[in-house]
Amino acid sequence: MARQRGVLFVVCLISLATLWSCRLPKMCVYSQCNTDSGPRTTPASSTNIDDGLDLSQPDAPFVSWPLARVCKETTWTPGIVFVCDNNSGGIGNIRNYILTCVRYAIEAGAAGLVLPTIRTRSEADLSSLMQSQQGFDYFFDEGHFRKSLQGACPQFTIYSSTDDIPNAMSPFQAEPLTPRNLGVRGGCDNRELNKHSDRFGLQFRAHVQQHAEEFNMLLPSPKHPRGYRLNWGVQWDFPVHRDGPEFVASFGGLLKFRADILDLGRKTAAYMRAFAAAHDQAERSRAYAGMHLRTESDALSNWPRFENQSGAYLKRASSMKLQAAYLATGNKTEAEKLARSASSTYDMGVVTKHELLKDHPVDLKALEVLTWDQQALVDFVVLLDCDYFLGVSPSSFSMNVALKRHLKADGLHTRPWKVGGDGDAWSWLVGSYQRYWDDWLFMYDSLWP
């Protein structure tokens, strides 16, 4: 009997050891555990969070799992198609409009998305924004967008145009939609972010159901698709931090500039490094400041004026011992004025993209065939490369550059930009930060880097 008990005891020990060893591979430290309800898969085209990527770069690889996680949580409805073409303005506005529209399309469960087009502005009158539509590749890399979005969200079908939507009526009619109007806002300021974004999916589906009943229409389906076009102005509407820092840091990676503009931007940045080294004869430093002077004809009257911007930029750059600066502006007269002041007061060399490319005729020609807004993308790339950026709030261009550069802080886990004050280690924006609405501070809460 004692021998039998001993054998039984040994068998129990072996069984416990086997069970425990089977658990070992599943053990992990807290920082590495996947706490999602399901397993996290990382597509081959994605990048792990531990790779230490510098997401502030204009060509940083797209990190897909935060977007895939959001799409996994969505209730999808085949037959609902979102159209994201009601945009206008420069790269800051266009970029944020498209990203906001895509985010609302996900929340709505729209299984169809028409490839966004881009509305151009008048070259003669920069304030005239509602000109003809250009294709997605006017600014962005279409192949990258399709691969990245559908890789993270295979539920999406991306149509090249409304003509490609199967079973759609001709001409295609899309219902205008302002997402914030589906929730009761109360006495809020009209510029306030959409406080109902968490419930937008439910509200949207209720709206679709009510609309079908009211007009005796069939519910959306692949055989009876229905389109929704977000109204103009929604680009500063979605509270981006609802989705967590990983999503905020990576979502903008869907929109990569097209290859030729990226290449021209890199070349211009390299020429700027050479200019900086040549200007600083003593140190041969290749460091340079980046400046965005926003004083073009369409600048609003209550924005900081030339003296406020230029004086603050030069003083800050000089205090950091930067002897060269790249200037992004569409105002040639005031660019020359700032350069003269920099030279006479601070012995600082200031140069624009056109001046940098004068000795590179092939590159200069490539720049000059671009429109005014396309040329701004070259500025965007060079300003991301600079050692310290100086811009102006509330320019969406300056904000976009500063917040993109802020991703150097901690990659996917970067906390939001501290609005006002001294900025961060990479950027500083001149502006008024007293009034949340009138100083447009709400834009910081609704901008994807």
- Does one domain contain both 249 and 125? yes
Of 349, 345, 371, the closest CA to residue 272 belongs to 349
Q: Determine, yes or no, domain membership for 45.
A: no
Q: Is 421 helix (H, G, I), strand (E, B) or coil?
A: coil
157-159 and 133-134 strand pairing: unpaired
Query: Which secondary structure element, helix H or strand E, spans residue 175, and what is its range?
Result: strand 174-177
Q: What is the pTM of this model?
A: 0.87
Cα-based angle 99, 54, 372 (whole degrees, multiple of 5): 50
**Four-point Cα dihedral 180, 185, 191, 192, nearest 10:** -90
Strand-pair partners of 133: 119
- Please write the tens of the pLDDT for every residue from 25-37: 332 322 233 333 3
Residue 77: domain span? 65-254
Q: Is 427 helix (H, G, I), strand (E, B) or coil?
A: strand
Same domain for 207 and 72: yes
242 with 271, same domain: the answer is no
Domain identity same for 165 and 238: yes
Most confident of 27-31, 47-51, 407-411: 407-411
Give yes or no: residues 223 and 315 share one domain: no
Question: What SS3 state is found at 144?
Answer: helix
Q: Specify if 417 maps to a domain.
A: no
Residue 160 lies in a domain: yes
Q: Are 236 and 278 in a shared domain? A: no
Kindly state the average pLDDT of the residues 221-228. Answer: 96
Q: What is the mean pLDDT of residues 232-256?
A: 95
Domain for residue 380, yes or no? yes
Instruction: Find all residues with CB under 8 Å of 385, minimum gap 6, and list them.
Output: 269, 272, 290
> Do 276 and 233 share a structural domain?
no
322 located within any domain:
yes
Residue 171 within any structural domain of the chain = yes
Backbone angles phi, psi at 224, to 5 degrees: -135, 70
* Domain shared by 186 and 306, yes or no: no
Question: Tens digit of pLDDT for each residue in 249-291?
Answer: 999 999 999 999 999 999 999 999 999 999 887 677 899 999 9
Domain endpoint, select from 254, 287, 312: 254
Residues 239 and 364 in one domain: no
Helix ranges restricted to H, 216-305? 245-251, 259-279
Residue 192: pLDDT band (50, 70, 90) is confident
Residues 88 and 226 in one domain: yes
Co-location of 100 and 209 in the same domain: yes
Q: Domain boundary residue among 392, 407, 422?
A: 392
Predicted local distance difference test score (pLDDT) of residue 284: 74
Is there a contact between 67 and 246 (Cβ–Cβ < 8 Å)? no
The answer to whether the beta carbons of residues 119 and 88 sit under 8 Å apart is yes
**Residue that is last in its domain, among 254, 279, 301:** 254
Total of domains in the chain: 2
Nearest to 392 by CA among 331, 347, 320: 331
Mean pLDDT, the chain, as a whole number? Answer: 87
